[in-house]
Amino acid sequence: MTDLSDLYEEIILDHNKNPRFFNKVPENANRQAEGDNPLCGDHYSIQLRVDDGIVQSAGFEGAGCAISKASASLMLERIVGKTETEAINLFHSIHEMLTNNEQVTSEPADLGKLEVLGGVRKYPMRVKCATLAWHVLSAALNDTENQVSTE
Ligand code: ZN
């Protein structure tokens, strides 16, 4: 069995160095939101093209630490091609994994590679870095508030 912390570092470093969907904003985007994590200085905007309830394409722009960037990259890699409902369910599962100190009770979505984001639970300061992109995604899909902050 692979040690999750080794895997965590490997995947985070890879996605920080070669972020997927970075600066590749869809020209025909119809959903967007941006968000800040003032504690760390992370700032990202995410744009999506959603048709028939499916995330057809996506991109993100901005700057921040390795964890925040890798989280955004992993997130978009996972949700493009999925339905809005699946994307929102993943957001809830990630949020629960990262903020719930007790044993997770509900059956979590199959997080797959996203499970490595759980590695930040050991570093409470970094949890907001890892969840920032997900909050921005949620805001973009809900189309209610288009500016979010982790504070
Ligand atoms: Zn950060």
**Tens digits of pLDDT across the chain (151 residues):** 456 678 888 999 999 999 999 999 899 999 999 999 999 999 999 999 999 999 999 999 999 999 999 999 999 999 999 999 999 999 999 998 898 755 555 566 688 889 889 888 888 889 999 999 999 999 999 876 677 888 7
Task: Report the separation in Å between the CA atom of 68 and the middle of ligand 1, taken as the mean of its atom positions.
Answer: 5
63 is a domain residue: yes
74 assigned to some structural domain = yes
Residue 42 alpha carbon to ligand 1 centre in Å? 5
Quote the domain boundaries for residue 19.
3-142
For ligand 1, the distance from its centroid to the CA atom of residue 56, given in whole angstroms, is 27
What's the number of domains the chain is made of? 1
* CA 53 to ligand 1 centroid distance, Å: 30
Report which of 140, 134, 149, 136 is spatially closest to residue 48, judged by C-alpha positions. Answer: 140
Residue 42: CB atoms within 10 A of its CB come to 24
Asked if residue 151 is part of any domain, the answer here is no
Nearest to 19 by CA among 44, 51, 56: 44
Query: 125 CA to middle of ligand 1, Å?
Result: 8
The answer to whether position 149 is within a domain reads: no
Q: How far is the CA of 48 from the centre of ligand 1 (A)?
A: 22
H/E element holding 48? strand 42-51
132 touches 89 (CB < 8 A): no
- Whether 81 maps to a domain, the answer reads yes
In a domain, 129, yes or no: yes
Residue from 90, 84, 19, 94 nearest 50 by CA:
84
Q: Let me know if residue 150 belongs to a domain.
A: no
Does a structural domain hold residue 148? no
Report the CATH number that the domain containing residue 37 is assigned in CATH: 3.90.1010.10
